[in-house]
Chain A
């Protein structure tokens, strides 16, 4: 194998952390969705890389399901963000705070 598996782990951890950072600091709901996508794709990198290491296709198969599920999640999410925009006239996630504690 050309690349050591450890590098894939490092890459995926980096992508995951970028996604998590985006979730924690960005206030735009669409950027939030993109950050979530990054986190799921970090999992995909691990699964694909180690499917190659272990020589079974379980990981690769699961990646296909994860891609489809991520797309479905975005579809529902954008629907909710549209409704958010209609009710609050912004897609800033910190605007929708009428309920507290």
Chain B
């Protein structure tokens, strides 16, 4: 079944991506506008399920990486990621049949649609994070053995840097350095793979999930929670559950190594009146405790919603006094294997916790 992504669907994907972004992933505003203008100019984009890919199809993911302050000032020309994709195609002597997001939270959920519109390619309804994470090795592609390279990073002048390495951690390190020389932000094409590899390693259905979440939040008049619950019930993720309701009483942040670390304390209201929740974050929300005991950790999704409007609140906008509802969503099986937990389990972010998947609702 062919699904078309037009301007309205981009709005919904951007909103849904803020739920899947678990507080991070960057402001989807710029990515959304880039995709909207490209779709207006070049036409809507086809969204294809991984099931529809042939084993030999050539899929080249695209993304933006770099400093948020730069990405909101030096906006892209729109050609950068296409340049990167072309460089990878030339290196491998193949022409891309589709592009794919590497993450489904924040700016990079919508950005590949601009590339797809320009190139006349479909976008694969899948990604490699199933949420937002801070670094390029936080990818199911990496976890399940796809090489991140050949990868290319390009800037608005048309400069391109090709990266070859057999170590995906080195890819992150080198690409990050190149983006600095490019003025703080670069546009990357990495983890080029076959249709067969997509089926084995990507988290399927995350773009349509983001779109459905966004649409549900947009049309939900009363209870955003019900809307989110209904959409997630039909997905490979667990049904969303309300972990806590309360008022933010303290927010602590510090910036280290380019990441924002900190925690937010929430005093319970109504049913949770006697309890306190703390959420620890590193760009994205990592773990939530109630009265000192973990109730949810990475890789499961912890998203803070405004209790009144139902709108997701990114970590940088958390502030004292906000009434919030904290949502937990269990991630799919592919994100919870021992190999995956080695890369993004609680221990890899320094949390003193053992991963316990969020249970199904009774």
Chain B associates with chain A? no
